[in-house]
Amino acid sequence: MKYYFGIILMSVVILFTISCSKENKLEKNLTGTWDVINIDSVYVDNQWQFTFEECGKKETCNGSYFYELHSAYSDTSFTRTFTWELNNNMLTTTLSDNSDVHYTILEWEDDYMKWNLLPYPDDILELVRIK
């Protein structure tokens, strides 16, 4: 009985460690300026650029992070504050107006991310860090 309890306890510790390390990696990866390099979505312009920063760096920020979005095609630019939660590769962003947007994180590396927007799994967003 002790043997099985030990295995179960060790499994929980390993899963918790993996979950926390993914969240920390995403947190480090999110900060910076990202170009959209490939897009298959009607919701995002492939010339948009996202800049993510921790909120402590902006006076007007009331979430965990904010992003500024700029379009090369027009003068479109806006800033939205959001908090995020990572759970089983699902990124949930709660915007400052309390609306939620959900993404599945398909891949992420130091300078590359690939997400899809839910509930539209064919909407793929690829971003590459430029600074």
- Output the pLDDT for position 26: 55
- Give the domain ranges of the chain: 2-129
Per the structure block, which two tokens stand in for 23? 């969240």
- CA–CA gap between residue 128 and residue 8 (Å, rounded): 39
Contact 93, 69 (CB under 8 A): no
Decide which of 39 and 43 is more confident. Answer: 39
As a whole number, mean pLDDT of residues 33-40 equals 70
β-bridge mates for residue 127, sequence order? 36, 113
CATH number for the region 2-129 comes to 2.40.128.370
Beta-carbon contacts of 43 under 8 Å, excluding residues fewer than 6 positions away, are 117, 120, 123
pLDDT for 73-115, tens place per residue?
555 555 555 565 666 666 666 666 667 777 777 887 778 888 7
Contact 126, 117 (CB under 8 A): no
pTM higher than the cut 0.75: no
**With 50 as the cut, is the pLDDT of residue 18 above it?**
no
